[in-house]
Structure 1
Amino acid sequence: MKKNIYITGGHLTPSLAVIDDLLKNHSKEVKLFFIGREFAQTSPPQPSHEAREMNERSIPFFPIQAAKFHRQHFWRNFIEILKLPNSCWQVYTVFKRARPDVILSFGGYVAFPVCIVGKLFKARIITHEQTKVAGLANQAIAYLADTIAVANEESLPFFPKEKTVVTGNPIRESLLREYKTPPSWFPKELMSKPFIYVTGGSQGSQVINQTIATLLPKLVRSFVVIHQCGASQGNVYLHELEQQRLLLPEELQHLYIVREWIEAKDVSFLIRNAKFVISRAGANTVQEITLAGTPAIFIPLSFAYNNEQQKNCDPLVQQGAAMCILQKDLVPDVLYEATQSVMRNYEKMKKNADHMKQEIPKSGTHNVIKLILSSM
């Protein structure tokens, strides 16, 4: 009889790595469900990508409205906490239809009510922490979890020693392959030109988008610019950046390609073949760039908990494989000078990036799968 495995959390990339492995190698043993966010962020509203990814894999997806902890506007937490009973009720109605055997959480506020109700249903709970600095949600979920998996040894002090194991970070199979076929939307006539890949993550980054828009006339003189801008309500990001593209001289407009979302296999190709990457410094993004051995310019999220994004990219910066620009220092001239610095020091940065690539553990997906199977 198949066991019901519920996957939840705010980090989609490692979730997909585990899901795809389970579907490929253990489909006769498990039935998968996903409980996630309807919106990646609420102000402005941005639809999450979880529903689409689960639909493509024919996995039942259940959106819930979960309470979110605000560190900057603490007073808003008094309003948010009122959402928790409703969130728990939504999860309860899902579990009544298909009782959970194992819950795999990837942290984030959406996972907290799932784990609370999962405990009432006596499900085995595994939570995974990707960052070096444990998130607030995972620190709370740790009290409910039977097993805590961490990607980095630096995370161990945040959790109870007796139930915490180091697994590494689950990695999508597509990122371990060297895709040599460019995306179908990448013009063939541009393949011989050097390109840079810009991403603010699945949600996008307004400040990165605005800075790139200002720099476009300079950047396209040297590179093809591939920009994943993130989804936004009414496609605002995409529309604004397309307008900036049309302001370029006509002969240069084709050198800027902007898209809201890019599929995993295409991201793998872009990261591996880009001259360099301009990106946020989330744990999964840093891991993907490290795996590719590609130099990068990181712009850590300024309000990430305990400077976790800066700490994520510090090893690459310290080893000379990447540069870091704090968001408070991010202005067009600073970013442009960083791009020129990368090119002046490219051979050295590329060599350092290739060295770091060899050091990253690649068994995270296998290790997490073992935890799931042993909990069934």
Structure 2
Amino acid sequence: MNRIVFTGGGSAGHVTPNLAIIPELTKKNWDVYYIGSKNGIEKKIIEEAGIPYYGISSGKLRRYFDIKNLQDPFRVVKGIGDAYFLIRRLKPDAIFSKGGFVSVPVVIAGWLNRVPVFIHESDYTPGLANKIATKFASKIFVTFEESRKHLPEDKTVYTGSPIRKEILTGKREKGLKFAGFSNDKPVITVMGGSLGARRINSVVRENLDDLLTQFQIIHICGKGNMSSEHKNIKGYKQFEYISSELPDVMAATDLVISRAGSNSIFEFLTLKKPMLLIPLPRSSSRGDQILNAESFEKKDFASVLFEENLTKNSLYQKVNDLYQNRDHYLKAMKEYSSNETLEMIVSAIEETKSR
């Protein structure tokens, strides 16, 4: 039986695509292991999925000055050592990395052990971790076709984003029942990423009086961001986080308001949900979400509202425009299919069997 080690962490976006690929490999009798950080978000997600998990030392790779930058290189070196001996013990036939700072020691350790390393880059341009990791990769998969110009041409393959099959299995009736909604009005789902988005949360709540005359709203607002003031408003339902019920919630959704993390927006695209994207601003990111959003806007997959232009009035206007023109977006999204993505990635990994 073949073995594979997955890695990636720091945010849910560096984990969920792995969860799309893992079931396809287990069907083909691969043993699956996961190496992540000792206390990162990936540990909880992977252990709940029943996958053997190993935590290693890891340091965050920052583009800005922080006193921790003096300590973290030592943590990265220790992480390489931890991962090196783990890989020697597990003897995998392949390593698959989804990025995030914890993946760098695993990728380097895999290369040192002469194990083929596969990387998937979700965003329009590679993050710092994947920029480092590409030097040690056998093959690099990308979500955006435009990303190839930022990566080594001989290693890079455009596949799209691996989508969890369970997200496609939702039932609208169950989603409406879960939220306590009726079929009388269309549903907007608001998502700010795994940690929420306070600015979006605030402006959405400012708009409730106007929006609720036309829509029902499911608001996934992030841990600690529930509002007691808006707890019992008819047609408005708040959640810190939705897990197993998310496929049903998405089936009940007519419009999405979201950040522009790559994994999420490709799930919305696969589900054919017209979306208003409010990307993280450059002041609090490297600008990857802005590029993701602009790419989707150019292809007529989404409408975009930059956070610096986000007000009560601008949000309300954008939502109404999106709903009025929803057929335009649905027509553009109809041409997109994610069916071949998993097949392409799994086939490339399966080729390691013959080596």
Asked if these proteins are the same fold (TM beyond 0.5), I'd say yes
Amino acid at match of 2:276: I
What does the per-residue CA deviation read over 1:291-311, in whole Å, with 9 as the maximum and x for residues that have no partner?
Answer: 222221101111376532222
Partner in structure 2 of residue 89 of structure 1: 81
**Which residue in 1 is equivalent to 2:23?**
20
Distance 1:201 1:154, change over 3 A: same
Tell me the percent identity.
28
Counterparts in 2 of 1:185 and 1:159: CA distance versus 1, 3 Å? same
Matched with 1:309 is 289
Q: Which residue of 1 aligns with 2:279?
A: 300
1:40-119 aligned at under 5 Å gives the runs 48=41, 50-73=42-65, 76-119=68-111
Alpha-carbon shift at residue 191 of structure 1 (Å):
4.1
Question: SS of the residue aligned with 1:358?
Answer: coil
- Give the TM-score taking structure 1 as reference length: 0.83
Task: Note the 1:233-244 alignment, pairs <5 A.
Answer: 236-237=224-225, 241-244=226-229
Question: Which position in structure 2 is the counterpart of 1:125?
Answer: 117
Instruction: Decide whether the 8 Å contact of 2:38 with 2:57 is kept in 1.
Output: yes
The answer to whether the 8 A contact 1:38-1:63 is kept is yes
Aligned CA distance change for structure 1 residues 73 and 245 (closer, same or farther; 3 Å): farther
Q: CA deviation at 1:210?
A: 2.8
Instruction: State the 1:19 CA deviation.
Output: 1.1
Contact (CA 8 Å) 1:294, 1:350: kept in 2 or not?
no
The number of residue pairs the alignment matches comes to 348
What is the match of residue 239 of structure 2? Answer: 259
Distance 1:203 1:168 in 2: 25
Q: Offset at 1:172?
A: 1.4
Which residue does 1:43 correspond to in 2?
A: none
The one-letter amino acid paired with 1:13 is: T
Deviation at 1:196, TM superposition (A): 0.6
Q: Aligned-pair distance for 1:60?
A: 0.9
Task: Tell me the distance in 2 between the aligned counterparts of 1:21 and 1:165.
Answer: 19
Instruction: Answer yes or no: is the 8 Å Cα contact 2:181–2:216 preserved in 1.
Output: no
Deviations 1:51-79 (A, max 9, x none): 34323432112234422222344665334
Q: 1:372: which partner in 2?
A: 349
Matches within 5 A, 1:132-211: 132-177=124-169, 179-183=171-175, 186-211=178-203
- The change in CA–CA distance for 1:316 and 1:117 in structure 2 (over 3 A counts) is closer
1:91 to 1:162, Cα distance in 2 relative to 1, 3 A: same
Q: Which AA in structure 2 matches 1:242?
A: S
Question: Residue by residue, what CA displacement relative to the aligned partner does 1:220-267 show, whole Å, maximum 9, x if unpaired?
Answer: 343221111233xxxx22xxx231324xxx5xx242222222226x43
Query: Structure 2: how far apart are the matches of 1:305 and 1:101?
Result: 35
Letter in 1 for 2:15: L
1:35/1:63 contact within 8 Å kept: yes
TM superposition score normalised by structure 2: 0.87
> Partner residue of 1:36?
36
- Assess, with a 3 A threshold, how the Cα gap between structure 1 residues 147 and 172 changes in structure 2: closer, same or farther: same
Amino acid at match of 1:244: E
| Counterpart among 233, 254, 257 of residue 275 in structure 1 | 254
Give the letter for the 1:216 counterpart. Answer: L
For residues 131 and 294 of structure 1, the distance between their equivalents in structure 2, rounded to whole angstroms, comes to 20
Partner of 2:265: 286
Task: Assess if the C-alpha contact under 8 Å between 1:70 and 1:76 holds in 2.
Answer: no
Cα separation, partners in 2 of 1:181 and 1:39, compared to 1, 3 Å:
farther
In structure 2, the CA distance between the partners of 1:150 and 1:317, relative to structure 1 (3 Å rule), is closer
2:309 to 319, 322, 329: 329
- Counterpart of 1:225 in structure 2 is 217
